[in-house]
């Protein structure tokens, strides 16, 4: 019989694990929990993510003794495959999770959930709305004026997305188990009559909010300006790029409170909000920010955040 564990040891030089007893125990723990198929799958994923990491950061990825936040997030993607991550990445099912936490008031109102684009009756919808597929990232179509929108193209795009499995970044593997693939229609949100909303992304470690990443002034490609703030809205200057001074949101305390509630079940999650009419509205829960290839945060900050993040035992689905 093909010995997966033995071949992985050879392929990835895991013999280095035995240099320290702690690594040896950690490796045996992983092998005892993961199935042979998962070990083989993770070996392939490790190979791919290591290559990608080296291309982005020009240094080796250390998964046996992860230290930086990126390294630990990649470890979580490979070895903490908890079904709650898939549930909360699903743009439909996450609504049930939020309701279970007693926070239904922060959900964006929905206009419909559809199995196919043929189920969408445009004439019954308001003049502006947002269409999303539930099983990946960037599966969004913003309709600002339905009278000026070609819905033949819109429906074709939605059906193309429904038919595919989201493949995104190498370590965004929790999306592949989302089922069924659905279309979600949400109300169009705006702030004080302006189209653009500011994103307030609260990074949470070990079930506790840690800091806030603000994204604003997105360009046509969706690239945003960023700023970093403490939970009491003091500039942190965590990013390598210049950071603008941003106005404190009126609902900041509520955002932090809600982020704490929603992050309790996860070693790491980023809880994203908008502010509409001075109230927080949940955007999404994110487990793999920028595919775990965060390049705009200063290296010493990534090391500091990584040191704070406590890795759990591996989890097998």
In DSSP terms, which residues pair with 137 in a beta bridge? none
Structure tokens at 56: 């982005």
pLDDT over 70 (residue 17): no
Question: What is the pLDDT averaged over residues 29-35?
Answer: 55
Confidence band, pLDDT 50/70/90 cuts, at residue 193: low
Q: Can you state the angle between helices 4-11 and 36-57, rounded to 10 degrees? A: 10
199's enclosing H/E stretch is: strand 199-205
- Comparing 216-225, 230-239, 260-269, the range with the smallest average pLDDT is 216-225
For residue 113, count CB atoms less than 10 angstroms from its CB and return exposed for 0-12, middle for 13-18, buried for 19 or more: middle
Pick the residue with more confidence: 15 or 295? Answer: 295
- C-alpha span between 180 and 294 (Å, rounded): 30
Question: What is the pLDDT averaged over residues 214-222?
Answer: 77
**pLDDT tens digit string along 127-180?**
999 999 999 998 999 999 999 999 999 999 999 999 999 877 778 889 999 999
Q: What is the pLDDT of residue 124?
A: 96
Q: What is the pLDDT of residue 3?
A: 44
- Arithmetic mean of pLDDT over the chain: 88
Percent of the chain with pLDDT over 90: 73
Residue pair 91/136 in contact by the 8 Å Cβ criterion: no
Looking from the CA of 107 toward its CB, the CA atoms found within 13 Å total 20
Q: What is the pLDDT of residue 289?
A: 94
Domains of the chain: 4-65 (no CATH), 109-187 (no CATH), 196-308 (3.30.470)
- C-alpha span between 226 and 243 (Å, rounded): 6
Angle at 86 between CA 29 and CA 28, to 5 degrees: 5
DSSP one-letter code for 113: E
Pick the residue with more confidence: 87 or 315? Answer: 87
Q: What global pTM score does this model have?
A: 0.86
DSSP one-letter code for 315: B
Q: What is the pLDDT of residue 121?
A: 96
Pick the residue with more confidence: 197 or 99? Answer: 99
- C-alpha span between 295 and 53 (Å, rounded): 10
Q: What is the pLDDT of residue 44?
A: 80
Q: What is the pLDDT of residue 122?
A: 96
- C-alpha span between 125 and 213 (Å, rounded): 33
């Amino acid at each position: 019989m093909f010995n997966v564990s033995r071949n992985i040891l050879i392929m990835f030089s895991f013999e280095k694990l035995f240099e320290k007893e702690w690594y040896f125990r950690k490796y045996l723990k992983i092998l005892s929990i993961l199935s042979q198929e998962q070990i083989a799958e993770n070996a392939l994923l490790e190979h791919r993510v290591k290559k990608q990491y080296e291309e982005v950061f020009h240094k080796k990825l250390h998964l046996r003794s992860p230290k930086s936040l990126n390294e630990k997030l990649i470890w979580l993607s490979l070895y903490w495959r908890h079904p709650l991550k898939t549930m909360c990445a699903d743009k439909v099912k996450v609504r049930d999770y939020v309701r279970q936490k007693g926070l239904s008031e922060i959900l964006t109102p929905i206009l419909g959930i559809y199995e196919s684009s043929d189920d969408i009756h445009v004439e019954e919808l308001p003049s502006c709305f947002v269409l999303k597929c539930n099983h990946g990232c960037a599966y969004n179509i913003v309709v600002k004026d339905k009278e000026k929108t070609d819905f033949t193209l819109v429906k074709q795009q939605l059906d193309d997305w429904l038919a595919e499995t989201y493949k995104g970044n190498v370590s965004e593997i929790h999306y592949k188990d989302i089922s069924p693939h659905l279309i979600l229609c949400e109300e169009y949100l705006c702030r004080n009559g302006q189209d653009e909303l500011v994103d307030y992304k609260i990074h949470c470690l070990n079930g506790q909010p840690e800091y806030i990443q603000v994204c604003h002034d997105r360009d046509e490609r969706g690239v945003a300006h960023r700023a970093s703030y403490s939970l009491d809205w003091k500039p942190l200057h965590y990013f390598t790029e210049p950071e603008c001074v941003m106005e404190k949101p009126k609902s900041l305390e509520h955002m932090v409170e809600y982020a704490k509630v929603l992050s309790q079940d996860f070693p790491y999650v980023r809880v994203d909000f908008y502010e509409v009419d001075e109230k927080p509205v949940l955007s999404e829960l994110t487990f793999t920010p920028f595919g775990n290839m965060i390049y705009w945060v200063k290296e010493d900050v990534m090391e500091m955040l990584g040191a704070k993040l406590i890795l759990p035992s591996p989890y097998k689905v």
